[in-house]
């Protein structure tokens, strides 16, 4: 609830999978499990949101994790991509 309040948005009633709190930098990419690393993610259908949502970000996190584990991408770069503008990097990667 505090994270929703910090973004000045109401906690969605009967969420139905269109919004959730998630780690900005995922735990699998070394993100901290703290409130400072949580943010509100939408999915199409939440308050007029029509862009990519948390499901796409989750897939991109998995892609970055595979790239880091294979040695193709440095961990610091993966963390930067997910924390700064994950959508643009996701598009540039071919929306894996």
Domain ranges of the chain: 2-92
Higher pLDDT, 20 or 69: 69
The verdict on pTM exceeding 0.75 is: yes
pLDDT digits (tens, 9 = 90+) for 50-66: 677 888 899 999 999 99
Instruction: Give the containing element (helix H, strand E) for 42.
Output: strand 38-42
Q: Which of 40, 39, 45 is nearest to 18 (CA)?
A: 45
On the question of pLDDT at 71 being above 60, the answer is: yes
Q: Under DSSP, is residue 30 helix (H, G, I), strand (E, B) or coil?
A: coil
Instruction: Give the containing element (helix H, strand E) for 53.
Output: none
Q: CA 73 to CA 77: how far, in whole Å?
A: 7
- What pLDDT shows up at residue 3? 62
Q: Could you tell me if residue 22 is left (phi over 0), alpha (psi between -120 and 50 degrees) or otherwise beta?
A: beta
- What pLDDT shows up at residue 25? 95
Q: Kindly report the average pLDDT of the chain as a whole number.
A: 84
């Amino acid at each position: 609830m505090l994270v929703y309040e910090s973004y000045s948005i109401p906690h969605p009633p009967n969420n139905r999978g269109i919004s959730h709190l998630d780690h900005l930098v995922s735990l699998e990419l070394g993100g901290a499990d703290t409130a400072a690393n949580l943010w509100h993610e939408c999915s199409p259908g939440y308050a007029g949101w029509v862009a990519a949502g948390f499901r796409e970000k989750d897939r991109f996190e998995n892609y970055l994790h595979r790239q880091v584990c294979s040695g193709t991408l440095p961990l610091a770069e993966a963390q930067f991509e997910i924390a700064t503008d994950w959508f643009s990097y996701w598009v540039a990667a071919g929306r894996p």
